Structure 1
């Protein structure tokens, strides 16, 4: 039971003395291991006068009940009942107590809060301290201390006294006949004194007829008298030299309520608005929100639209709209609020009848006492033209003005969608120019560009209607025939196109002749999507180019199977390199004069886990195409050098280099690394290249060859005599060895021309002090011919096929025995 003593409330200072006492009492009662102290230890005994300020709340599950209240609390609540739900109390008190109790329960700690109660316009602030406790009778009890914090204040007086506006009341003074003729100030706030620049004592009970302030002006008194007589309201403005005041008047019988607002800044903003409006380079106007008539237009609008100002002010906003947009303009106008921005562009009419495209920005304004909209106009006509041009350029080739790949793919998808319901055929033709590279190489790229323009003109003249021709890039074009074409029609069109494109071109008096190859794919048989048709037409084009060019080929399923095999090989190659499926075999190089092995050529082999040995002729070109040959070549160099270190010191190792390895530009560093890691002498390493290396970037490749030669490495030209310029290459670089191609060795005993070629190459080698090696030696007769013609070195099946590294020692021993027997 809480002991209650009478109290009249406590001061703010006393309250803050009580709060620490109650907090300490709560913490002192908290026992080790318990989350809350017991109710008896906190709320019973030694509370004294504090008991009058405490309300005991009982928490049952989710409901709070008022269990006990002190006298001060009963007065605060205006209710002395006990054992009632909290919701039965006045809402302001119930909310404050409920929030404080909820926070105390959530934290299991004392919680201090503040509450503001308003009674009859009077505001009182209270401090509330909620103390959660554990009850041995079950549940949780919250002892809540309440006391006012600060003096009370009148809410209405506080609002009126703190507002920037002047608020005052005037009493009407009537004459003997009952007519109003004067007014007396009976109440005012501080805002009135400030705005009228007079002390409060000089205003209260002051009669307006006595003069002395702006309210005493005759025109003001006249407006006030009119309000008293009509019982209505009025609003007007009065101006002095330095200020503008707006007065609002309302009559309550003979009492007038008057509000005074300082609108000086507003007036200045309006003046600035006029200045910005009139002199703004952007077209602007104000139109009436109700009638949509123009209320004002600035000079920029007059000049831009071409209407005179007088004409503008006789027009309505719809007069500048094109008639076909009246409905959507009107609907948009009905939906705008206080401010708007046109999310779309609009069309406007100028005085000369021309159209412009604009964006509009606006806001609702009061203009000369009328509700209107201020509108600013941005002319985007030129911008829209530029955007249209950019959009066109994004879908067209800049050189030929034909559709580009992106537009081509979009139109192909549309054609397929339209053809699908009737199972109609769409043909895709991939067109590639033959010999175009020769034009660029011979005459330069500007000539090539002019040729492409003429090609585009010829294609454009042949491809009409719903069909489309596009440039996909370089000298590659593509055509869509969308009008349900048959294979025969597609074939006839392709034949005619090849003839037209293959006719001569006259460019600045120079006759240029090229050709064209075409690959064709037809839906739905060759594919139902744009990607499938393009891929299959491209495969057909590849077949047409492989067949010599100047022809067209239709897609066949075998092409797809070949492409799939190629894709499978690419995948297997990458996996094989990662899994270490490659190995090196070594074929002996035999010195004819000494009848001994002078070295071994390392040959790459691929042992596929399922397909067995795969020929280098199959996988080397693929490895070059996918860029795998560079890391694979590095592995070959390292492996061959390491293996050669196991051989006698006089035995060399030859390693074939791909032209692709020269593109990486780090080939010299790779060779140096392989020699350094293995410890092999550079003079024991022989690098073999083919003449295809000289077909591109000759100077750069020659520089690399010279760097390799400076290391002490030997450089050999493989397959000598099969190209067009082999002799000129011997002038470009001092080779250490030339290898006679097996095609000359094969028919050496049967064909005199082969003998002549071998004799010439051997003689050339002797003259230039270059070793000559014959490849593909398989018979004793061939060996005898080569020995007779002065060839230095041979290799082939007559001596041994390429063998794994483990069998090299046996080969060396075998030839060693032969040499001993011969001696």
Structure 2
């Protein structure tokens, strides 16, 4: 053991990270070269001084308290905190402290890692992914995260909410007459008016070019019609845009979120249906009712037909879209996508029948069918993983993990070749039971992928707890990345963050060579999209693998 400062100094000078030693009186007795460079000081500036001579009082007190804990317990303690350095800069430091003896006296030995850039990158991703760059309001994905939470709160008896969808009337005329700069300024002003109209805890979002949304909690006093009227009034007030005064109106669709609300997509569709009706006359509001929705009977027909298809197995199919390595273009896996063709309804869009399945509980049976079909089909292809989408409804089923294990056993698919794709909202809103379920799957070797990343960045802490393997950047960011600075910033930041957390980063929706090159250079690990292949039926898998380069280990034993 080393017990003298001279020997410790020689060792610590070789360390590639900042290191320092303080005595029991909190006096600095040593700092290595890396520490001096990190703090921007010479060793003589700090040696012999106490923390209160170097740092603000509250900060020095925190340092001293940490030292005392180490000196008393002789334990290794790791802390992360924001500090003001000797030059007044705010930095985020990860510090590990332990107790050593020098000349028979206890001292604190510490190593410091500056994680300021990592935390700033995280903050940048969080803001860009959840906000509209022009207005600073929440974006569509942030709105849907809040909407999911509102639905869960209402289902648990925690209170109702109301969702307002707005579309500006006459906005195109402003753009065409006064220019896009004037149009942008009008959008910013309208967003500010909406923000001032509701409480701080309510959500105001820009969800499209001239489309906005409000999610307003109802504490028992919300006057939905009165609020809709006030929205119409503020939209009709004049807007001062560069060198002109502009006038517009707005149409509003409203839906109440109560204990009967099931899925965010369904609530958004209902609000959109009410908005569509409002726009038939413009500059008015319409509150959703079941009678208004002409597609209600059709959804019931879809539910009945889907239930019959699951009973018989007729008309359901899986298509498969390859994922390729960004570095060499080789196929690494296939994503299984449900398809359904009905003799009377025709080809039913997945977004339609999956939404119905989630609303009616049929998603459990549909999800298991897709999982069994995909694993059985792709098990013979050694080295090729299969990705299967999992609904938040499935994750609430405590039998789901056992179902997965049964499918793996019966199909012969190794657990390490199965990826379960889970939406970010499902991760963010996961309860303790869902967390345990995912951990159980992960321990068994099943890989977890976060789908449509960019929709609720607050899940990152949970991601580390779950050892999630990869994140898929939402296609909306991918397709605009080579041309739009904000989308490009999101892609780069997510790639950097993924590397820092040890996660693989996938970009979906790749359609052009320009996008491929940008995403590869930005640090994405895998790519997926029409540039490589559309989703193909089972009989098309071999053609895809013949056309695209594949790993040598990938082959079919059939």
The structure with the largest alpha-carbon Rg is: 1
Question: Which one scores higher on RCO, CA 8 angstroms, separation ≥ 6?
Answer: 2
